[in-house]
Amino acid sequence: MNSRPLNILLADDDTDDCNFFEKALEEISIATKLQIVNDGEELMNYLSDNLVRTQNYTPLPDVIFLDLSMPRKTGFECLTEIKQNEKLKDIQVVMFSTSYLRDYDYEKQIINILKGLGADDYIRKRGGFEQLKQVINEALIKVKEKRGKKYEL
């Protein structure tokens, strides 16, 4: 049976967060291939380029981990554009944020708005590396289940 790594696109402007994310992926048992972009505009350009590219085709990601607060184009804006595009709307999007830690009701409202816009999941960035690894692993398990595909373990 042929299986392939899960294609992940991380959109995050914080270099430390990107490094922790990459390190966490290396330590979980799900086979992955990671691509990183550093702001919302770069994310949308990356996706657009992959839609029109005929040579050196890079497949669209299976899942995008999308930071809410980025320069040039926010996670909200990117999520809206992705879900309104017929060729991109089926990509699973996991919103990823450090925001709203102190106000649970406000965070819940934001999560409801994001789900209404088409987000598949929401992860609050946690302080500890082990917690980060756990939430990423759990999110990827959900992605695999929703996709219904077989991936290397």
Strands 63-67, 32-37: pairing kind? unpaired
Residue-range definition of the domain harbouring residue 140? 6-147
Residue 128 in any domain: the answer is: yes
CATH label of the domain that carries residue 125:
3.40.50.2300
pLDDT at 12: 94
Q: Return the SS3 of 9.
A: strand
The one-letter code for the residue type at 13 is: D
pLDDT at 99: 60
Residue 152 in any domain: the answer is: no
Mean pLDDT per 10-residue interval, the chain, length 153 residues: 79 91 93 94 91 67 92 92 94 83 77 93 81 90 75 45
Residue 153 in any domain: the answer is: no
pLDDT at 153: 45
Which among 68, 14, 83, 77 is positioned nearest to 41, based on CA atoms? 77
Domain count within the chain: 1
pLDDT at 1: 39
pLDDT at 26: 94
Residue 19 in any domain: the answer is: yes
